[in-house]
Amino acid sequence: MPMNHRKECKMLRPRLSLVSVALSFVFFALASSTVQAAEKSNEKIKVIIDTDIAEDIDDILVTAFAVASPQFEVLAITVVDGNVQARSRVARKVTKLFGHPQIPVAEGYSRSMPLKDTTYTGFSGGVRYGEVAPDEEGLPEPSPLRADQLVAQLAEKYPGQVNLVTIGSMGNVGHLLVRYPEAVKKLKRIVTNGGRFVGPEDQSIGWNLRYDPVAVAMTLRSRVPWVLLSETTSRYAALRLEDVDRLKNARLPSTELLSQAIHWWRTNKTDATSRPHVSDLNVFAYLMGDWIETKTGNAYIEIGPRGKLPGFRVEDDPEGQILIGNLIPREKAEKLREIFMQQLLAPPGN
């Protein structure tokens, strides 16, 4: 071997060693990051469910789903609008029968933001189907905290990790924004089921938004990331009659509760249909990923004189402030419905 070539080889060896060390370090770093990513992907999604449970059938169904699902860690349930005491009982019965009585359930606000909050004196049987939990017998204790205070505490405890899902009036969120503005900033996001916006010619304010439009306007102005999903997003995931029979025939205390709720919903709600809808499933489908396509946009709400329905619309905007969800296609919705049913039918604790 020529002398010059030997010298070049000797000079290259330390460099090659350094390169090998560097490559080993890069490989180790990539391997570590891959493991960390895998571990992170196995983490449960932290959620707080803010709901008017016992109003429409979807609230109790999807709350039960989230409590039962291994993908979610339900940190708390907060109830809003009207008879919050009755709603609290229904929520606590869900946590008990689905195997998680430790989940705190906090009462929220009975009235919308402009009005002084008062004790509800309406329908004493609960709301719609409060018959499933007419009293406190055998139920876990309610949280001693008010809804907004509990949400604020959890946001402080888990900064940047908590998803606040709202499937009822936005009243509790409004009070949270007013009373705990610093804690609100620590939420990961707010995900809301509300409104109808399947196209530019078919837009209207949904029940969850119209109950408290002031709170909606405050949420739009806040800096919390907000995902707004149409009430029609989960249209094709509605339960079939055979699914209702599956719940009834499972003969578990948990599924018996849901069967009773469906019965009372059909009995008490004048516009109830034979097929229970799961409109509120959209918020959890979004968090589970790959089910709902979103686009960046803006929402607008106009609050007129008392008694007049607020104006509402959304529009696409690449530089918009919120994410707007699209309809789940029929084929995907049918698969989602089966996943939903499997969780409802699973024995508590599995």
Task: Please check whether residues 2 and 108 belong to one and the same domain.
Answer: no
Task: Please check whether residues 106 and 150 belong to one and the same domain.
Answer: yes
> pLDDT digits over 18-61, tens only?
333 333 333 333 333 333 343 345 799 999 999 999 988 999 99
Task: Please check whether residues 36 and 70 belong to one and the same domain.
Answer: no
Task: Please check whether residues 190 and 322 belong to one and the same domain.
Answer: yes
Does any domain span residue 350? no
Task: Please check whether residues 33 and 89 belong to one and the same domain.
Answer: no
Task: Please check whether residues 122 and 193 belong to one and the same domain.
Answer: yes
Question: Given a cut of 80, is residue 168 above it in pLDDT?
Answer: yes
| pLDDT tier at 205, thresholds 50, 70, 90 | confident
The three-state DSSP-derived secondary structure of the chain is CCHHHHHHHHHHHHHHHHHHHHHHHHHHHHHHHHHHHHHHHCCCEEEEEEECCCCCHHHHHHHHHHHHCCCEEEEEEEECCCCHHHHHHHHHHHHHHCCCCCCCEEECCCCCCCCCCCCCCCCCCCCCCHHHCCCCCCCCCCCCCCHHHHHHHHHHHCCCCCEEEEECCCHHHHHHHHHCHHHHCCCCEEEEECCEEEECCEEECCHHHHCCHHHHHHHHHCCCCEEEECCCCCHHHCCCHHHHHHHHHHCCHHHHHHHHHHHHHHHHCCCCCCCCCCCCHHHHHHHHCCCCCEEEEEEEEECCCCCCCCEEEEEECCCCCEEEECCCCHHHHHHHHHHHHHHHHCCCCC
Task: Please check whether residues 298 and 224 belong to one and the same domain.
Answer: yes
> pLDDT digits over 221-238, tens only?
998 999 999 999 999 999
For the segment 244-250, the average pLDDT, to the nearest whole number, is 97
Residue span of the structural domain in which 14 resides: 1-42
Q: Which residue has the higher pLDDT, 12 or 83?
A: 83
Domain count of the fold of the chain: 2
| pLDDT tier at 129, thresholds 50, 70, 90 | low
Question: Given a cut of 90, is residue 281 above it in pLDDT?
Answer: yes
Task: Please check whether residues 257 and 336 belong to one and the same domain.
Answer: yes
Task: Please check whether residues 181 and 237 belong to one and the same domain.
Answer: yes
| pLDDT tier at 196, thresholds 50, 70, 90 | confident
Residue 49 confidence (pLDDT):
98
Q: What is the reported pTM?
A: 0.86
Question: Given a cut of 60, is residue 123 above it in pLDDT?
Answer: no
